[in-house]
Amino acid sequence: VQKKKRKLPEVFTVEEVFRIIHSADNIKHKTILMLTYSSGLRVGELVNLRVSDIARDSMRLKVRDAKGGRDRYTLLSNICLTQLEQYWKTYRPYNWLFCGRMPGTHMSIRAVQHAYQRAKNKAGITKQCGIHTLRHSFATHMIETGSGIFQLQKFLGHRHLNTTLVYVHLN
């Protein structure tokens, strides 16, 4: 059986990430993009965040029922916490961090993808890549700034180190 060829994931520069985040239409979308990047979240993990998942005291974010059905903690940056506080003052979420259109529901994955595409286009970035590229960029930038591979594996929620080692090759 021939092994599947693995292409290296596309990544944004730090400057491109900054442009995308600051091109968001509103505070909710800006918070979503900032959190996706700075915590290395998958879009499905982002929409499932609850207000109670923000651990201010330890500057961590609880990711429930992630890929593989496991919970994990990831980073919560100071900049992102400040952004979350602004977002909270504006929207006052009480259960889901990012509420959907229907009361009691969370925002849809499609709505998040749409917000990302709008921001990416507004930022003038023409790379053909989805919101998951923010997660790849987070991982690559963590490695570039000297973060340990085992620590990164924990933040990303990878079961196997080989999955995380892809980001070392990108660097």
List the catalytic residues.
42, 67, 132, 135, 158, 167
Which residue type is seen at 96?
W
> Is residue 139 helix, strand or coil?
helix
> Is residue 83 helix, strand or coil?
helix
Instruction: Give the H or E element holding residue 80.
Output: helix 78-91
Measured CA to CA, the distance from residue 84 to residue 32 in angstroms comes to 9
Contact by Cβ (8 Å): 27, 42: no
Measured CA to CA, the distance from residue 128 to residue 36 in angstroms comes to 18
Measured CA to CA, the distance from residue 151 to residue 85 in angstroms comes to 27
In 56-161, beta strands by DSSP E? 60-63, 72-75
Measured CA to CA, the distance from residue 47 to residue 44 in angstroms comes to 6
